[in-house]
Structure formats: structure tokens, C-alpha cells
Amino acid sequence: MQARKATKTRPRGSRRGGRKRGLGGTGNALVPPPFIPTLKLSHKFRYLNGTSAGSFNITRGNLLNTVLYTPTAMTSVRLFQAVRLKKVEIWANPQALGAAPTVLGLEWVGENAPSTQISDNPMGVRPAYIRALPPPSSSNRWWSINGTSESDQLFSLILPANCVIDVTLELRLVENESPTAGDVPAGAVVGRLYGNYLDGLVSGSLVPQGFAILP
């Protein structure tokens, strides 16, 4: 009969490599982990264009103006100090029977994004659909920061009527910085958060959903 091989047992609570609990590492009982106080989140914003068909240019400033706070009836400030574009999704209604085909399109126009175009057409009862991520190594993946290159265009949309546009952003909230002025409202409720049009208040075609709309 073969003898059973003896096995070693490790002391209770010990760890491989001889490292004890509570000593060393990036976060434990003796040394706290690094702390980043900046409030950050990722959020999907939804917009509708209604009957406003056409081409729409979206800039860094437009994304920074996504959500605004109104300290007075005629002024607004930005809630976010920095934003980064993660994804754009668009749906277009199926066309009417016998109607000419409509085109749904998105074009990346940032640096190192060689006019990358994405398009789709509705067919029968199937809606047109686009899911677009910023091109690798392009400026479309860069952070947009208050006061820096806000006029830079990131992408263009070609929309038929009655589209749904979802824009996913990574966000950093304002901390100790002085608030940055946003689009100028007309008769806003003081002390309220407003959603802004994706294409900006002046154009005012891509309407935010789930927010009071900046007047």
C-alpha cells in the first residue's frame, strides 16, 4: 500500500510570498490608498430632433454645456469642468412605404480622424441605426476642458426627422475652480439645473430628454 504524501499547512491568516495582512501594499490598515476627491461619473444623455432634419456640427463647447445651473434668470454656469466622449448611438424611423430612402450619418472630424464616416439607411420596417465610438488615437477621445479649444468640432450628424440620439460622456464635476459661464438663457428659473441642446442654445434643434430645457 502506497504511503500518503505529507502536506504542509500554512498558518491561518498568512498569505503567499510571506506578506502579512495589514503590511505594505497600496491600501491597508497602516497606509491608506491614494484619494481622488474629484466627483466623476459616466452618463448617457438622450436627445430628439423632431422635425429638424439636416446636418448638425457638435463641438467641445457643446458637450461642456450639456448641463447648466442658473444662478440668475439671465445667466448660466457649467456643472462639468471636463467631459470625454465615449459613444454615440442614433436611431432613425423606418421610412414610409414607397418613400425615397433617407440617410442617417455620422462623421468624425477631429484630429487624426481622417473624415471617418458611418451611415445607415432604414429598410422596410427596420429603423436605421448607428453605433459609433471615437476613432483610436484621434482627438475625439481627448478630454474637453473648460476654456480649452472649445470651438473644435468633434463630429457632424446627418439626421432625417424624428431621430433618437444617445451620447455617452465621462464627466468631471467642478470643484474649487471658478464656475465657467454657459449659454445665455432668457428667463430661466433661478437656482435650477437645465439640460441644454446638444447643438447649443442658438441652434436649438437637438432637444435634451429628462431635463428641464434651457429657455
- Which grid cell sits at 56? 448638425
Q: Where are the domains of the chain?
A: 37-63+81-180
| pLDDT at residue number 35 | 81
Does residue 15 contact residue 21 with C-beta atoms inside 8 Å?
yes
Tens place of pLDDT per residue across the chain (215 aa)? 555 665 566 656 555 544 545 444 566 778 888 887 888 899 999 999 999 999 999 999 999 999 999 999 999 999 999 999 999 999 998 877 777 778 999 999 988 887 789 999 988 888 999 999 999 989 999 999 999 999 999 999 999 999 999 999 999 987 777 889 999 999 999 999 999 999 999 999 999 999 999 99
DSSP 65-108: TSEEEEEETTEEEESEEEEEEEEEEEEEPPPPTTPPPP-EEEEE
- Which grid cell sits at 81? 469642468
| pLDDT at residue number 30 | 85
d(CA 66, CA 210): 12
Instruction: Measure Cα distances from 12 to 16, 20, 202 in Å.
Output: 12, 11, 67
| pLDDT at residue number 168 | 98
d(CA 71, CA 69): 6
Q: Which CATH class is domain 37-63+81-180?
A: mainly beta
Q: Residue 115 phi/psi, 5° resolution?
A: 45, 50
| pLDDT at residue number 23 | 46
| pLDDT at residue number 4 | 60
DSSP 148-201: SSTT-EEEEEEE-SSEEEEEEEEEEE--SSPPPB----SSPPTTEEEE--TT-T
Does residue 112 contact residue 135 with C-beta atoms inside 8 Å?
yes
Looking at residue 134, the DSSP 8-state letter turns out to be P
In the beta sheet, which residues pair with residue 164?
48, 91
